Structure 1
Amino acid sequence: MAQKKLLLIDGNSVAFRAFYALYRQLDRFVSPDGLHTNAIYTFKNMLDAILKQVDPTNVLVAFDAGKVTFRTKMYEDYKGGRQKTPSELLEQLPVIREMLKDLGIKSYELANYEADDIIGTLSKMGEKAGYEVTIVTGDKDLTQLASDKTTVLITKNGVGDTEAYTPEHMKEVNGVTPIEFIDMKALMGDNSDNYPGVTKVGPKTASRLIQKYGSIENLYAHLEEMKKSKLKENLINDKDKAFLAKKLATIDRDSPVEVTLEDTEKKDIDYEKLRELYERLGFKKFLAELNSSADAQGENTGVEQYEYVELTKDNLDELADIKEKEVDFYLEMLGDNYHVAPFVGFGLRVGKKNYVSKDIALLQEMPLRGILENKTIKKNVFDLKRTYVGLHRLNIEAGGFDYDMLLASYLVNNENNSNDLGEIAHLYDEYSVKTDLEVYGKGKKQAVPEDADLFKHLAAKVSVIQKLKPELLKKLKDHEQDDLYDAIEIPVAFVLAKMEISGMKVLPSTLLQLENDFAIKLKDLENKIYQQAGEEFNINSPKQLGHILFEKLGLPPVKKTKTGYSTSVEVLDKLKTESPIINQILDYRQIAKIQSTYVKGLLDVIQSDGRVHTRYLQTLTATGRLSSVDPNLQNIPTRTEEGKQIRKAFVPTDPDGYIFSCDYSQVELRVLAHVSGDENMQEAFKTGYDIHSHTAMKIFHLDSPDQVTPLMRRHAKAVNFGIVYGISDYGLAKNLGISRKQAKEFIDNYFEQYPKIKEYMDKAVKFAREHGYAETIMHRRRYLPDIHAKNFNVRSFAERTAINSPIQGSAADIIKIAMINMQKKLEELHLKTKMVLQIHDELVFDVPKEELETIKKIVPEVMQSAVKLDVPLVADSGYGHNWYDAK
């Protein structure tokens, strides 16, 4: 006989977690008749994950019947400090119960008792009857029910993300058994449930006392044996509170419940009622899942199924005479790095017909190759850059790309940076396509499914590209972002694809020499550290390093963690003057990181053509900035000489060629001067002043640039860039190591001299509050759901983002325009020079010797004329026989 499994769910607790999981999207989750649905939606997702994990035979969801229980009669203020349940959640609880009933799951509440007591009673009944019991809750009070037959799953952040509490885990986490946990709570009290324990007794003290005495009864029986102390005094004074707290904390496992274990058996799903409910709530995802599930049960669902034709050599001729001027194409690869990822298959939608295949060689056959290379036939794809590079690997120079679903979705809502077609489709209530995680698995477990499932997945993907195109393009137009999409993001995707394909030549010999040099430096630093420490130890072990610094050498500890002394960079920076060993350790860490991340890291990714081919993530950041991965070439350190040395390995293709670098000078501050319209700042840029010296003169009330000291300029620079990021006097004081009063004075002087910048900041925050987003000069939006948050820190971060995003995002747009114009120029002049890297405000080129003079002229010109601002754009350039010499 199969093992019976009883699943008991704390309904109120899980619903509460579900509500706040999508709280920021509260306005998005509203049914057609105006009911909030975020808690119902997430509760269902959490329930599905739990049911899949536990696979129970019996299920019950327990709810609180009301605020008045036997505990409030014992202690009137029990749970009195809790905030009122939001009305948006209250209105969803009855619907959650309705949904559970339609799913064949029993829910139950009991007057004068809490859900905890129902669960405690039924878990006891289940244990006695030989059931394997699982409890799901967000409340650790229920961990007292853990036993060899009962596991308590505490919900954490994500759907299906739980922590399993068993007696062994309880002992590990709290140092006590589940039963002893009640006594721990009696000593600690509970702020959440609003009952006191013993004054100044926290978790550690409570755990130590219960580990020693086993219970509060035994503790008080031996209280006289304790030495005189403040703790003993508090225990004596608060004895009544401790015993009351124990009563309040103890779950009643003999509550007068009127349900039996038989009542908790899972019933059949009522498909008709559930379908009506999902339609009423507007849950398209669950309707699709329900229809699929019902279809498996033999019901007629009417759900749209994407039909497909498997494309083979035998039927390839069907594509010979297509009349369509627009097709949809999807190229599937397994893994993120499309420069090396294995090909899985492809889908081509012509008219209303989906062709799919896993025979990648067919793409090189006519007429399919001809369709892909024909520029007059428009191609709708999911990820233009990925598709272009993938086809290039197959020696197919595709053309006619017209629509990119990924880029369109990213511009419409760049807070979501998924690159999974299924996930993005779900954002627009299109659930006919599964996510890649569902189909292929994750990480090392990724595997291609059977042909039928693969073909169905490819057909769904290529169909959804077309299906969502009108909606996404309309949203772009409504947001005035169609020009941003057409004139910047689509063209720059082509530019990036070509840059990635070109890659950059890297000399392994240079890296190997650096590896040897750094190894010698690290060994030398090791010996110096050991000499200072008086012994050898593992420098990379925080525990051993903490022992040496704070116990053996007696340096003042700055911060402690759960595992011991903190040895973070922030902590070590504060101890630099205490001992020579600190700077040695910081140098050691820095060089060790450069050695492992950049020297060895780059050696691992040089491909067979002797080049590294980074990938640019075009849809990752909310500001529009590009990110570089596999490898990340934007993070090569430039502040230390060791970091700069890495750039010596990057060389031109031709031995006598050059690496040419050109970067914008203070582009974000120039954008700030433009958007704010501040005359004083604009004057500085128009007359070619050093902006930081100019600012120093203003905030220090100086008459001449000659009076500006290097320290004054450094402080002014920190203020300039700090203002762009909405810095506070506290943040500036911390950055500069000055008093908060002095920092406030700097900021006040700054705004006095640049008054329109303060006006801009106020207007930016006001705009974000009124519209819910910030916007660049090219209408790139960044949504700010926290701009009205009650929490000061959360709201303040959103306000700073409202100020900064238009600046940083506009700077990102400017360099993208420069890249597009630069690529056009290179092609117009038929130059062999290739643009090979973009490092935020810097463009890097691989230049043949004979084209250097031309490049020296045209690159700064193109970059400086990218957009017309109220202040001039300035681009500084340099060149050399490697990237190091070009800077």
Structure 2
Amino acid sequence: MAEKLVLIDGNSIIYRAFFALPLLNNDKGVYTNAVYGFTTMLLRILEDEKPTHMLVAFDAGKTTFRHETYKEYKGGRQKTPPELSEQFPLLKEVLDAFQIPHYQLDQYEADDIIGTLASQGEAKNWDVTVISGDKDLLQLASDRVTVNLTKKGISDIESYTPAFMKEKMEINPDQIIDLKALMGDSSDNIPGVPGIGQKTAIKLLKQYHKLESVYENLDGISGKKLKEKLTNHQEEAFMSKKLVTIDRDSPVKVKVDDLDYSGYPASDVSTIFKNLGFQSLLSRVDGGAEADETAQELDKIEYELLQEITPDIFTDHSALVVEMFGENYHNATIEGFGLVTDDHAYFIPTETAVSSREFKAWAEDIRKTKSVFDAKKTLVALLRYDIHVQGITFDMLLSSYLLNPSENNHDIPAIGHRMGRTEVLYDEEVYGKGAKAKVPEQNVLAEHVVRKSNLLYKIKPQMEDQLKQNSQYELLKELEMPLALILGEMEHIGVLVDIERLEKMGEDLKRRLDNLEQEVYDLAGEKFNLNSPKQLGPILFEKLELPVIKKTKTGYSTAADVLEQLKDEHPIIEKLLLYRQLGKLQSTYIEGLLKVVDKDTNKIHTTFNQALTQTGRLSSIDPNLQNIPIRLEEGRKIRQAFVPSKDGWIMFAADYSQIELRVLAHIAGDEKLADAFKNDQDIHTRTAMDVFHVKEDEVTSNMRRQAKAVNFGIVYGISDYGLSQSLGITRKEAKKFIERYFESYPDVKKYMDDIVQEAKHQGYVTTLMNRRRYLPDITSRNFNHRSFAERTAMNTPIQGSAADIIKKAMIDLHEKLLDEKVEARMLLQVHDELILEAPKEEIDKLTEIVPAIMENTVELSVPLKVDYEYGESWFDAK
């Protein structure tokens, strides 16, 4: 058997694992996300590479022999987050359990250890695999040495051989040091030659091969500026080459023959996995019989199937799971209930539960506390049977969402797996998938539901501890959970739809579309299928000879962005754009809304997604009422079909004015921005005054429009390119505009810079109410990934805080309406807007109560402002 040496860059991989995974800690409160990520990768390496020799190399400290050459080497790096630092010793314990050697050497880096041992292995004709996230190690690639680089996080690997490097990068492995010498490396604070990027560096190396040859042939290099850069920074270039060159003869005390690896003792690895809470990895331990036995023990569960309910089954605290079959829980069938207490587990068939006075009394008893998976769904499901559940003190879905906002699966088995608990099957393993999904036999169903309930009961304390460690327990208990019950009531009430009016709108739209279609035919000179890009393309770009913007594999692109660029070229374009917009209104909103109206009540019961967006904003589905396009008059008119549910009632809408900009003024502490709000100035006019250095009466409509684009763009971390596209100006003009904005509002710029640095240090950002958003790409070497993460770091605290504020306002308003004993009730939340319905005689009270509550729900350094309207429909209330 051929010898196979695997060398792992420990620092690089654990850093990547830390930022790729959300902060996780085990039941002892120890952070483990980086170790967990590293370990999953390690198991895959052992399976795929089957090494005969192995070592994990670590950096020994901050100072290396390279600092003697350049004091500022790696000088720009952020301090290692303490949540990561404390995981290094844990990782070494894991490696010891696997019996994998690890090594570090004073004054040298992991790269030098790996380079030295790779050279030894190569000299012995062994196959060598190096695993890292650092491109510097590509200089080691050879016929015998393959360098595996992590691409995104730690799950995606790219294998570099000399041939692959030549194809992908157009250079050989030995030219990596010359490439870095020319272009530098900001992550290691290596200067290189300022102004030379990868493209230019590769061009030079393809021609001259080495840095030395570049300088020997300086006179022959074309381009005055390039020659100047090279001449002025020759010293930095050669110093940079020295810095990036791996020492392949470092004084390591281990030799490759000492790195013999023949596998790991399953019992030792199983033990440390259990100690760290890595239950989900136990099944991957080779020969891990002990782990399998543990899983089998966890799988055993005793429960009772109840056909009759007696009061003695209920205790002071229970876990309740409502099992439903169907995608939309407003009309899904309830298949039964799982109930778990300290020492009993029950499955209760639906009919048994909902027909029992004892069950209803328990469900509505606020003193009998309940942990549930989804409080909103539980409330809505039981309201069908006139059971108004109370006493919910824990919501597993919302807890998981707060702890792992980037995850898109928050069902009970997935949550369990993330926390090392594998005793619950995924729903598709019980029900089947897609069209073949069906409810299984009652005993299979009952056991599945009881397992879910049991896991919920057991895992609750651990999840609560994690929330407390993250300072998010209050966010769950005082914001998300009370809101869930309010949203549940709003969903249950629904909003009335005037079917006749909606159908009439559909007929009007159909006539408009028919007319537009004919107008397009007249302009094109022939009939064709407007909805077929294959037919539309030749009409536009061959017959009408419009300039081709973009081509696809199948022909000409007729996408919306292409048509937008052709707007001024021919009148047919505007007709086509309008046709598409009205067509979407007709199919998605008119026909779509009519499909989801409850035939018995003529109401729409939307579902609010409370555990979806990473900013904390609510969204809605079935139907999505937040996406009705209101820029078009026809879109706005759709709101005419949403009307009060009772005669003599009105619709009342209240929305926050420029809440995100107000939150920005508060968070950034910018006095000039804050003053504008304190003095109730039009913020876009004020910005135009500051940026263009003009008086208020000199601000033109175009100045205000540009200022408005920058104001809202700043909230979203807009780039000069983004602003140029938005305003139809050059990137240079847009860049100047943004610079002038930051000169006018320096504290906003400081906030933007500081929050990005904070995100790089912590790996996440927070809102005013401690909602977190993890940003694993904030330190990515990929410019696009890193830039997106930086923009996200800037805007999440603003968007997320605005979302938290309106959520709190909903809770405060709900309590106030109850205190005032009015009939008015909330129906919808759309972005920064709340829609209520109320008797006309309560109008005066609402105009007093609603703005007061919304404007005073939190205390900021600037005032919040609420606008309101009311009328016969949602449209009239805007």
In the superposition, the TM-score normalised over structure 2's length comes to 0.72
- Please, which moves more after superposition, 518-527 or 754-763? 754-763
Which residue in 2 is equivalent to 1:177?
none
1:662 aligns with 2:654: yes
Q: 1:114 to 1:295 in 2, by over 3 A?
A: closer
One of 385, 392, 402 as aligned partner of 1:401: 392
- Please, which moves more after superposition, 643-652 or 270-279? 270-279
Aligned partners of 2:298 and 2:784: how far apart in 1? 47
Which residue in 2 is equivalent to 1:850?
841
Q: Could you give the per-residue CA deviations for residues 457-513 of structure 1, whole angstroms, max 9, x where no partner exists?
A: 212211121212112212222222222222111111111111111110001111111
One of 569, 576, 580 as aligned partner of 1:589: 580
Q: Could you give the per-residue CA deviations for residues 157-206 of structure 1, whole angstroms, max 9, x where no partner exists?
A: 99999xxxxxxxxxxxxxxxxxxxxxxxx99984379799xxxxxxxxxx
Q: 1:593 to 1:350 in 2, by over 3 A?
A: same
1:331 aligns with 2:326: no
Q: Could you give the per-residue CA deviations for residues 784-833 of structure 1, whole angstroms, max 9, x where no partner exists?
A: 11111112221121111111111111111110111011111111122111
* 8 Å contact from structure 1 (residues 417, 621) kept in 2: no
Q: 1:742 to 1:64 in 2, by over 3 A?
A: same
Residue 450 of structure 1 aligns with an amino acid whose one-letter code is: E
One of 186, 191, 196 as aligned partner of 2:168: 191
Residue 413 of structure 1 aligns with an amino acid whose one-letter code is: N
* 8 Å contact from structure 2 (residues 486, 811) kept in 1: yes
Which residue in 2 is equivalent to 1:698?
690
Aligned partners of 1:822 and 1:292: how far apart in 2? 59
Aligned pairs (5 A) from 1:378-389: 378-389=369-380
Q: Could you give the per-residue CA deviations for residues 205-229 of structure 1, whole angstroms, max 9, x where no partner exists?
A: xxxxxxxxxxxxxxxxxxxxxxxxx
Residue 719 of structure 2 aligns with an amino acid whose one-letter code is: S
Which residue in 1 is equivalent to 2:676?
684
* 8 Å contact from structure 2 (residues 19, 153) kept in 1: no
Aligned partners of 1:487 and 1:669: how far apart in 2? 25
* 8 Å contact from structure 2 (residues 17, 35) kept in 1: no
One of 292, 298, 301 as aligned partner of 1:304: 298
Alpha-carbon shift at residue 745 of structure 1 (Å): 2.1
Q: 1:852 to 1:535 in 2, by over 3 A?
A: same
Q: 1:91 to 1:825 in 2, by over 3 A?
A: closer
* 8 Å contact from structure 1 (residues 29, 38) kept in 2: no
Alpha-carbon shift at residue 578 of structure 1 (Å): 0.7
In the superposition, the TM-score normalised over structure 1's length comes to 0.71
Residue 676 of structure 1 aligns with an amino acid whose one-letter code is: A
Which residue in 2 is equivalent to 1:441?
432
Aligned partners of 1:287 and 1:189: how far apart in 2? 41
1:716 aligns with 2:715: no
Aligned partners of 1:66 and 1:552: how far apart in 2? 68
Superposition RMSD in Å? 4.1
1:737 aligns with 2:736: no
Q: 1:773 to 1:45 in 2, by over 3 A?
A: same
Aligned partners of 2:736 and 2:332: how far apart in 1? 55
Aligned partners of 1:477 and 1:442: how far apart in 2? 37
Q: Secondary structure at the match of 2:357?
A: coil
Q: Secondary structure at the match of 2:861?
A: coil
* 8 Å contact from structure 2 (residues 153, 776) kept in 1: no
Aligned partners of 1:569 and 1:351: how far apart in 2? 59
1:771 aligns with 2:748: no
Q: Could you give the per-residue CA deviations for residues 395-425 of structure 1, whole angstroms, max 9, x where no partner exists?
A: 2111111111111222122122423111112
* 8 Å contact from structure 1 (residues 65, 114) kept in 2: no
Residue 647 of structure 1 aligns with an amino acid whose one-letter code is: R
Residue 660 of structure 1 aligns with an amino acid whose one-letter code is: F
Aligned partners of 1:96 and 1:527: how far apart in 2? 73
Q: 1:542 to 1:321 in 2, by over 3 A?
A: closer
Aligned partners of 1:584 and 1:410: how far apart in 2? 44
Q: 1:187 to 1:321 in 2, by over 3 A?
A: closer
1:414 aligns with 2:405: yes
Alpha-carbon shift at residue 871 of structure 1 (Å): 1.2
* 8 Å contact from structure 1 (residues 617, 627) kept in 2: yes
Q: Secondary structure at the match of 1:505?
A: strand
- Please, which moves more after superposition, 822-831 or 377-386? 822-831
* 8 Å contact from structure 1 (residues 778, 810) kept in 2: yes
Aligned partners of 2:668 and 2:31: how far apart in 1? 44
Aligned partners of 1:291 and 1:187: how far apart in 2? 33
* 8 Å contact from structure 2 (residues 307, 352) kept in 1: no
Aligned residues: 697
Aligned partners of 1:296 and 1:885: how far apart in 2? 64
One of 20, 34, 37 as aligned partner of 1:25: 20
Which residue in 1 is equivalent to 2:875?
884
Aligned partners of 1:586 and 1:614: how far apart in 2? 29
Which residue in 2 is equivalent to 1:179?
none
* 8 Å contact from structure 1 (residues 615, 630) kept in 2: yes
Aligned partners of 1:526 and 1:625: how far apart in 2? 39
Aligned partners of 2:711 and 2:453: how far apart in 1? 48
1:41 aligns with 2:40: yes
Residue 591 of structure 1 aligns with an amino acid whose one-letter code is: L
Residue 659 of structure 1 aligns with an amino acid whose one-letter code is: M
Aligned partners of 1:870 and 1:20: how far apart in 2? 38
Q: Secondary structure at the match of 2:601?
A: coil
1:343 aligns with 2:342: no
Residue 592 of structure 1 aligns with an amino acid whose one-letter code is: G
Aligned pairs (5 A) from 1:611-622: 611-622=603-614
Which residue in 1 is equivalent to 2:818?
827
Aligned partners of 1:801 and 1:523: how far apart in 2? 43
Aligned partners of 1:743 and 1:375: how far apart in 2? 58
1:352 aligns with 2:343: yes
Q: 1:843 to 1:291 in 2, by over 3 A?
A: farther
Q: 1:786 to 1:406 in 2, by over 3 A?
A: same
Which residue in 2 is equivalent to 1:284?
279
Q: Secondary structure at the match of 1:395?
A: coil
Alpha-carbon shift at residue 62 of structure 1 (Å): 7.1
Q: Secondary structure at the match of 1:748?
A: helix
Which residue in 2 is equivalent to 1:652?
644
Q: Could you give the per-residue CA deviations for residues 304-326 of structure 1, whole angstroms, max 9, x where no partner exists?
A: 23523333334x22x4364x311
* 8 Å contact from structure 1 (residues 504, 836) kept in 2: yes
1:634 aligns with 2:626: yes
* 8 Å contact from structure 1 (residues 345, 356) kept in 2: yes
Alpha-carbon shift at residue 284 of structure 1 (Å): 0.9
Residue 416 of structure 2 aligns with an amino acid whose one-letter code is: A
Which residue in 2 is equivalent to 1:364?
355
Aligned partners of 1:809 and 1:389: how far apart in 2? 26
Q: Secondary structure at the match of 1:320?
A: helix
Alpha-carbon shift at residue 97 of structure 1 (Å): 13
One of 461, 471, 484 as aligned partner of 2:462: 471
Alpha-carbon shift at residue 25 of structure 1 (Å): 3.3
Alpha-carbon shift at residue 291 of structure 1 (Å): 12
Q: Secondary structure at the match of 2:377?
A: helix
Task: Structure 1 unaligned segments of length 5 or more: list them.
Answer: 1-9, 48-59, 68-87, 99-108, 117-155, 162-185, 197-268
Task: Structure 2 unaligned segments of length 5 or more: list them.
Answer: 55-87, 101-120, 130-150, 157-162, 174-263
Alpha-carbon shift at residue 293 of structure 1 (Å): 11
Q: 1:646 to 1:21 in 2, by over 3 A?
A: farther
Residue 581 of structure 1 aligns with an amino acid whose one-letter code is: I
Q: Secondary structure at the match of 2:474?
A: helix
Percent identity among equivalent residues? 45
Q: Could you give the per-residue CA deviations for residues 347-385 of structure 1, whole angstroms, max 9, x where no partner exists?
A: 011222111133444233132222111111001111110
Q: Secondary structure at the match of 1:661?
A: strand
Aligned pairs (5 A) from 1:177-256: 190-191=167-168
1:707 aligns with 2:707: no
* 8 Å contact from structure 1 (residues 537, 544) kept in 2: yes
Q: Could you give the per-residue CA deviations for residues 571-625 of structure 1, whole angstroms, max 9, x where no partner exists?
A: 1000001111111110000000000000000000001211001111111111110
Alpha-carbon shift at residue 439 of structure 1 (Å): 2.5
* 8 Å contact from structure 2 (residues 21, 776) kept in 1: no
